[in-house]
Amino acid sequence: MKNKLKSFMLERNFLILIIGVLINGVGSGIYSVAGMLLVLHLSGSVLYSGFAFFAISFAGTLAFLIAPLGNYAKYKNGLVYSNLIKAILLVTIPVLHYTIGINVWYVISMLFITALFTQFTYPIESTILPIIVGQDNIIEANSYLQTIREAMDIAFLALAGIIITFVGTIPAISITAICILLVSISYAFFNFDQPSVNKEKTSSIKAASSVYFLDLKQVLITLKAH
């Protein structure tokens, strides 16, 4: 049967990854719009919304600098803890808003920092794919993953405005934080074999720097090839 599911699609770790990507798509779509609207609401100026957009976009341009950092931690730990930190950072926005008040620059800073963490987790998700599904299925599995990511981006960017209209920007950011926390919890159930981290990489600042720049060079070569 042509429509029969591929075996890797029912693999436990692949399903966990897909669930994480789906939940992340829900949160990210709402968060992007809610963050911009919150900045606009706090500042009353479109200029500050431009700063917020620049902060998120600038984090994306730094992806090539952040990607090599994924080699300094076990993949599962990197995904779990980075998403947990993102959730904690985002939840500080509604907490401060409902207590002592919140500054527009704090929101912009949080948008930038959480976007940086996204640049850290995204390459790890792609890196663990061949470990989970095997080299023979990597192209097909990656195609499924990218299709889901793009579909979620379109769907929830479109729905985000409607959701925010009903619940407001601050509750919307709270929803995002909950979604990212659920992603962190989901990734905690990964059970794939992880490559051991070379302790010599971090034995000294000089050694760590040397390895980092070698990894960075490899990333740049890969980007140039594409």
pTM given for the model: 0.81
How far apart are the C-alpha atoms of 93 and 35, rounded to whole Å?
Answer: 10
Shared domain for 169 and 223, answered yes or no, is: no
pLDDT of residue 214: 58
Written as tens digits, the pLDDT of the chain (226 aa) is: 445 666 777 788 989 998 988 888 777 778 778 888 899 989 888 899 888 888 888 887 877 777 666 666 788 888 999 999 999 999 999 999 999 989 999 999 998 998 888 888 887 888 888 888 888 888 888 888 888 877 777 777 677 778 888 888 899 899 889 999 999 999 999 988 776 655 455 555 455 555 555 555 554 544 444 4
CATH of residue 52 = 1.20.1250
How far apart are the C-alpha atoms of 71 and 109, rounded to whole Å?
Answer: 26
Shared domain for 116 and 204, answered yes or no, is: no
Domain that holds residue 99: 19-123+133-189
Shared domain for 119 and 222, answered yes or no, is: no
Domain-embedded: residue 2: no
Domain count, the chain: 2
Domain-embedded: residue 33: yes
Residue in the block written with tokens 């934080």: 177
Shared domain for 91 and 155, answered yes or no, is: yes
Shared domain for 36 and 118, answered yes or no, is: yes
Shared domain for 176 and 211, answered yes or no, is: no
- Residue among 27, 111, 122 at smallest CA distance from 67: 122
Contact 65, 86 (CB under 8 A): no
How far apart are the C-alpha atoms of 29 and 166, rounded to whole Å?
Answer: 16
